[in-house]
């Protein structure tokens, strides 16, 4: 966890240095004599793309960096800085309050559309600028006339539009990189699927061998029951033992082959949590459409972070949502399945809930047991393997050192609470 905090601090320092340097590069707008620095254009871009950082702390660090650099340059050029300390000081309030307003206006936004993002940028810029001007003119409020306020608003619009253009350009570039990354993952997935198909062939072959051993074992049982051909019992028992040993060796090779595939060929870098949830959301919506269910899927994330435990998280969330979908029939309507991520202190809390049929109280203590299932097809006699929740519990508690709890009321719905320490999931 200390490494993660150090990394975030380094990023905030790097951003504040870049903002301070670019604050010395000015652009002239055709509105009055208002000075616009490149830093003010880049500042919201950094706040948006580095949303895993503390917005307000980043803003304050940028404000102090800009202030200290301006004072330092003035000292180098003029040999003194006492008289300029107060002159540059109000600029600190612009960056600080910009970051505060940006956090307030974008707090409830998970996927910001262009219109709402532009409004957020304009309001943050205008209010931050207004507070700076207000502090600069504490002794003379009459200077804050309608023309000044109008000018501030126009400047905020122009700067925000430029920032939005840069943001969109970077997002487009990111999409190109993401597309390339997806193509690489798809090629890797094809190789992975091909190798797994080979291992499945050996598994099917061994299933036939198991059927043969079962037949031989039952035949021996019948002979022993009627005490027939007792002189062949020993040899037949030995043959069964040999066959079981061969099957065990075959399955050992299969397991080793699958482990090599999943650990080596499927090995890749981590992912950002937003990307994991985007993939999960798309796949679940396709599943709902394929099953022709009337389900409203809601995904709400609070904090984005980078993790190398993406396979574990995908397995957990997908199993739980699939479990909810399995309990819904095509005749059921107005069902809602929601995924909520919360960040509280040093823990992540993931809440997966549905308004489906719920779980019977007598079954609640068994739902995490391997083999337990309430999903039986009474027409075919087939029963679900009952491994989904068992696997989820094992991954959460054993692999991620977390906890999982469930609350459910029959005919009202089910809620799963998963709590995992941030140190187990976050990577620098």
Q: How far is CA 346 from CA 15, 110, 418, 420, 425, in A?
A: 25, 21, 14, 9, 11
What's the rounded Cα separation, in Å, for the pair 57 and 53? 8
What's the rounded Cα separation, in Å, for the pair 118 and 105? 11
Q: Structural domain boundaries of the chain?
A: 2-144, 182-265, 271-425
pTM (2 d.p.): 0.51
Closest CA to 193 of 279, 280, 265, 284: 265
Cα dihedral sign, 348-354-355-361: negative
CATH number of 271-425: 3.30.565.10
Q: Collapsing DSSP states into helix, strand and coil, what is residue 74?
A: helix
Q: In this structure, are residues 206 and 214 in contact, taking their beta carbons and an 8 Å threshold?
A: no
Distance of alpha carbon 155 from its chain centroid, rounded? 36
Closest CA to 18 of 55, 50, 46, 51: 46
**Helices 114-136 and 146-225, axial angle in degrees (round to 10):** 140
Closest CA to 51 of 263, 321, 343: 343
- How long a stretch of residues is the chain? 428
One CATH from 2.70.150.10, 1.10.1760.20, 1.20.810.10, 3.30.420.480 for 2-144: 1.10.1760.20
Fold match, 2-144 / 271-425: no
150's tokens: 């109008």
pLDDT in tens, the chain (428 residues): 444 567 778 888 999 999 989 888 877 655 445 567 888 888 888 888 787 788 889 999 999 998 888 888 888 887 766 777 777 888 888 898 999 999 888 765 444 567 788 888 898 989 888 888 888 777 665 556 777 788 888 888 888 888 888 888 877 777 666 666 666 666 666 666 666 666 676 677 777 788 888 888 888 898 898 888 888 888 889 888 888 888 888 777 777 777 666 665 445 577 889 888 888 888 888 888 888 888 888 898 888 888 988 888 988 998 899 888 887 766 667 788 999 999 888 999 999 999 888 888 888 887 887 665 655 554 544 444 445 788 888 889 988 999 999 998 888 889 999 999 999 998 76
């Amino acid at each position: 966890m200390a490494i993660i905090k150090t990394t975030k601090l380094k990023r905030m320092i790097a951003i504040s240095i870049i903002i301070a340097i670019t604050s010395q590069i000015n652009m002239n707008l055709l509105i009055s004599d208002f000075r616009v620095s490149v830093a003010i254009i880049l500042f919201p871009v950094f706040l948006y793309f580095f949303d895993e950082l503390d917005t307000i702390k980043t803003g304050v660090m940028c404000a102090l960096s800009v202030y200290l650099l301006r004072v330092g340059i003035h000292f180098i050029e003029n040999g003194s800085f006492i008289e300029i300390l107060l002159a540059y000081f109000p600029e600190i309030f612009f960056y600080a309050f910009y970051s505060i307003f940006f956090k307030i206006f974008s707090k409830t936004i998970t996927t910001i559309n262009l219109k709402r993002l532009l409004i957020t940028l304009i309001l943050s810029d205008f209010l931050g600028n207004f507070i700076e001007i207000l502090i600069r003119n504490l002794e003379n409020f009459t200077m804050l006339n309608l023309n000044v306020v109008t000018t501030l608003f126009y400047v905020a619009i122009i700067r925000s539009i430029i920032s939005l253009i840069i943001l969109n350009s970077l997002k487009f570039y990111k999409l190109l990189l993401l597309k390339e990354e997806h193509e690489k993952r798809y090629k890797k997935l094809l190789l992975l699927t091909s190798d797994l198909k080979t291992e499945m062939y050996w598994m099917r072959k061994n299933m036939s061998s198991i059927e043969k051993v079962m037949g031989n074992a039952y035949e021996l049982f019948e002979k022993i029951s009627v005490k027939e051909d007792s002189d062949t019992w020993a040899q037949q028992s030995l043959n069964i033992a040999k066959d079981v040993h061969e099957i065990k060796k075959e399955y050992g090779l299969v397991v080793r082959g699958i482990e090599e595939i999943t650990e080596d060929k499927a090995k890749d870098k981590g992912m950002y949590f937003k990307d994991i949830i985007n993939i999960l959301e798309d796949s679940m919506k396709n599943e709902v459409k394929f099953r022709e269910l009337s389900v409203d899927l809601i995904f709400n994330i609070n904090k984005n972070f980078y993790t190398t435990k993406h396979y574990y998280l995908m397995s957990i969330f997908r199993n739980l949502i699939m479990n909810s979908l399995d309990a819904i029939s095509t005749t059921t309507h107005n069902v809602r399945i929601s995924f909520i991520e919360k960040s509280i202190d040093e823990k992540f809390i993931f809440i997966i809930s549905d308004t489906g049929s719920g779980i019977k109280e007598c079954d609640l203590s068994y739902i995490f047991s391997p083999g337990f299932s309430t999903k039986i097809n009474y027409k075919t006699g087939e029963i679900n393997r009952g491994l989904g929740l068992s696997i989820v519990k094992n991954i959460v508690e054993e692999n991620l050192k977390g906890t999982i709890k469930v609350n459910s009321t029959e005919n009202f719905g089910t809620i799963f609470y998963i709590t995992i320490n941030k140190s187990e999931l976050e990577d620098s």
